[in-house]
Chains A and B, each alone.
Chain A
């Protein structure tokens, strides 16, 4: 009897022969996927980003069931969700703050890639897909913020869509095309809702490609050297258990904000219904756009400002070649490490400048910070690769690093 297969086992094998989905998952995130054994907690943020994408799609689907994409009803329908829909307040606060936490997680994920040189060969395509995900996230978040049709929704949409008018000759027709009319109005709201529902599934597809591209070379690691097969451990159960712990730790912060400070990251003006006749004294985007907003306003020319703002993201596509150092991990690059942390501080300064009125000290600081942002990528990265002497690399992950002679 014991040798005979159970009916469940036979059903499973019957199905695997026809569509081997369990084997596929086992090779992707299971026991058959070897990962370097020395990954630190910064490597948790990839799975956290996937978790946040799932949270956003799930809460978003339930919000869409109760939301009305019409300029006269959108604000009221959001308030109905907050007051009369069962647990509507929870779903909406999870979604609104989820956007912020999605960006926090993805920013840490990007900075981790920068610090450990995860963009370098052979992971350039993996890095590119990551940037595409980031761009799609920004578009999705921007359009999502417009949907409640509050004052900041309306005026944020007006300011950002107007950026395209900086393009010579075809700028104004493009803006009219984006709006579906001659100002931000009901057609704009309708198409933004449609695209806001579409883009998350584009992101999901890109995430699939991102993970596929990850599996070709395998994960980078804190030492930045190739991991020998002996230095790899199966993803499951080692990293699944580590990711589960990281997820719990992360959720403590996420839910603390959702339940106890759900409006801390929002702007009070967005609880005022959109009014095309009243411009708020200070239009600011959500915090995760502030660094790029600061770059936009640091440059006195509108077109060049827009170019710089988009350039700040597009420059990431070419850093695999701008960085001339062959050493991946900043742990072995004493000078790159200094400039990297300056870049992190600089990003915080840009975020702060983006929230201020563009005049006086914040404008000057914004300009200096904008210059450093580009100098870091365009000058420091190529030059440092030539002049910096990296510390000696270990022969393998298991071999301790030899101390250089005193």
Chain B
């Protein structure tokens, strides 16, 4: 009787997991990232390529407001290179007489928003608001694999699909109708380091760069975690030996 009850309960649980598996949509493209796993690190050259893609392709519509130019030293740039890069941007300021002026960017500035305000952004993009990209890989199920897939997910809509005006078909986008047109194609950018710019390569580089933008402390987290785990492991072993030694007193009695 007990076995029957437990078997029924097991069947009950199993149907739940089966239902869960049936729900999955189109499977995302998966890639081995250098930052995967407990010891993963960013590939600095890849991040530099990704930065180039962001600046040459994405930045015309998308902001990256939580990333400051000074953060770019993490990509392997020197402070002088960062200063020079920041100076390519202009920011509004007020001078000592109170007049509106523009000044050059400094390492303390953040990447500027390409639009003066959200309404302007919507009006320029057929009503759609291009989201800020600083946290994109943490704000979507699938993380960097989602961005990687989305960049390569544009295709002709299947017959019978009615696209709304100005929308594009992307098989990985929830609902498949996305405001952003296809951005990435082969040789879209010419990489400074000579890497061949296939659409797949560009998609991987921008996804890795955006994951760095979303989780800039990832390397410190992995490295600290390794040290903490070794420390806790030694503590646990010592505590176990101590506990055994103390409890051995009871058996002697």
Contact = CB atoms under 8 A, between A and B. Distances in A.
B219 to A, nearest CB: 11
A8 interface: no
B247 A238 contact: yes
A233 interface: yes
B6 A338 contact: yes
Given A268-B138, A349-B12, A361-B15, A248 B221 contact: no
Interface in A245-261: 245, 247-249, 251-252, 255-256, 258-260
A89 B217 contact: yes
Interface in B211-253: 214, 216-217, 220-222, 224-226, 228-229, 232-233, 235-237, 239-240, 242-243, 246-247, 250
A151 to B, nearest CB: 9
A346 B13 CA distance: 9
Contacts of B243: 241-242, 244-245
B239 A248 contact: yes
Contact of B16 (A241, A263, A341, A349): A349
A58 interface: no
B9 A345 contact: yes
Given A37-B250, A83-B66, A252-B232, A271 B138 contact: yes
A161 B250 CA distance: 54
A336 to B, nearest CB: 12
B19 interface: yes
Contacts of B247: 238, 241-242
Nearest to B67: A83
Given A233-B250, A271-B138, A352-B16, A259 B224 contact: yes
B18 to A, nearest CB: 9
B160 to A, nearest CB: 23
Contacts of A37: 250
A258 B15 CA distance: 32
Contacts of B5: 338, 342
Contact of B229 (A90, A93, A238, A255): A255
A263 B141 CA distance: 11
A241 B236 CA distance: 11
A82 B237 CA distance: 33
Interface in A331-363: 338, 341-342, 345-346, 348-349, 352-353, 356, 360-362
A255 B66 contact: no
A269 interface: yes
A260 B228 CA distance: 12
A362 B19 contact: yes
A47 B37 CA distance: 32
B72 to A, nearest CB: 13
Given A352-B16, A365-B12, A260 B232 contact: no
Of B138, B222, B232, B246, the most chain A CB neighbours within 10 A belong to: B232
Interface residues of B, number: 45
Given A83-B216, A241-B243, A255 B225 contact: yes
Nearest to B1: A338
A46 interface: no
A342 B9 contact: yes
A262 B217 CA distance: 12
B20 interface: yes
A365 B6 CA distance: 16
Nearest to B237: A248
Contacts of A353: 16
A268 B135 CA distance: 10
A237 interface: yes
Contact of B139 (A83, A241, A272): A272
A286 interface: no
Contact of A361 (B2, B19, B138, B233): B19
Contacts of A172: none
A248 B235 contact: yes
A90 B236 contact: no
Nearest to A76: B66
B140 interface: yes
B16 A362 contact: yes
B38 interface: yes
B217 A260 contact: no
A361 B13 CA distance: 12
Interface string B1-36: 010011001101101100110000000000000000
A185 interface: no
Given A83-B217, A268-B141, A245 B240 contact: yes
Contacts of A245: 236, 239-240, 242-243
A79 interface: yes
A82 B217 contact: yes
10 contacts: A89-B220, A241-B242, A248-B232, A251-B235, A252-B229, A259-B224, A268-B141, A271-B135, A342-B9, A365-B16
Given A244-B242, A245-B240, A352-B16, 18 more contacts: A83-B71, A238-B247, A245-B243, A248-B232, A248-B239, A252-B232, A259-B225, A260-B222, A272-B139, A342-B9, A345-B9, A349-B16, A356-B19, A356-B20, A361-B15, A362-B16, A362-B19, A365-B15
Interface of A: 37, 76, 79, 82-83, 89-90, 93, 233, 237-238, 241-242, 244-245, 247-249, 251-252, 255-256, 258-260, 262-263, 268-269, 271-272, 281, 338, 341-342, 345-346, 348-349, 352-353, 356, 360-362, 365, 368
